[in-house]
Structure 1
Amino acid sequence: MDKIDKEILSLLQRQSDMPVADIAEQVGLTSTPCWRRIQRLQQQGIIAQKVALLNAAELGLHMTVFVQIKAARHDGKWLDNFANHVSAFDEVVEFYRMSGEYDYLLKVLVADMASFDHFYKRLVKGIELNDVTSSFAMEQMKYSTALPLHHL
């Protein structure tokens, strides 16, 4: 990973559909070597995928909820069932196993409180949980999908 690769990644993180010719010009290459670098970064798994980022508010998803869960049990079968259960919800956009007081953290996007209540009832149904607590985001202060690259 050299300086040019980092510049390419930085540009693609901001606009994944930027034409290769434009990327090449900005990083000081011609199109073919630039395209080869992008292909290599994809083959190495550094570029995992290219997606369109949608505006949640414009799609009516006005509520962000962070749900913390304490596991009912700590065995492989429960974990597999729980992971499958949670992953099946479209509302869950991020899902982490955590250290600390709570075992799992979910980031949930919904339209409103009624939608969250509907989600919550489906979440707790059919899976044994020890404790569930939810925090409602009042204001998004920063949002970025761009990963920091300065350490490379």
Structure 2
Amino acid sequence: MNVTPSQLALAWVLHQGAVAIPGTKRRRYLEENVAAAEVTLTTGDIAAIEAVAPHGVVTANALMPGNIADTSLARHMDMQQVADFIASGELALPPQKTVEQGAATSVLLAASPTVEGVIGRYFEDCAQAEPVAERAGAVAGVARYALDRENAARLWAVSEALVG
């Protein structure tokens, strides 16, 4: 099979009947991800994958680590522009976290039995985020439309059409 690891992973997710929306900043990775929809997994491929990752063991969720100041994540941003944007009231930031606090939700999703079988959800502060109807001024929660499977399928179709 001549596919990248990410294409194999996405093809497997799609085979499960789930909709994946991987994020990327680079067009080549977007094209690579969209090409995963064309990957056909044989019965043998599925058996080999399930031998190392039995059904129900691998899950996919999204998370927000939080506002972690002690990293270089914002190194490419002009800090004055960020400060001006925050001062304008157009951007609300949650309270700052330490690196350890920011990593806690990732660790929860990777290792905790409390999230076993939970898929396609958005987490923050070591918990499933509550849906919010209004984003203005909100620093927590997940928009209801982001949890809608029909929206996810439509976004996938539009993305696929855009990259040909």
TM-score by length of 1: 0.26
Higher CA-based Rg: 1
Is the helix fraction higher in 1 or 2?
2
Is the strand fraction higher in 1 or 2?
1
TM-score by length of 2: 0.25
Using CA pairs below 8 Å that are at least 6 residues apart, which structure has the higher relative contact order?
1
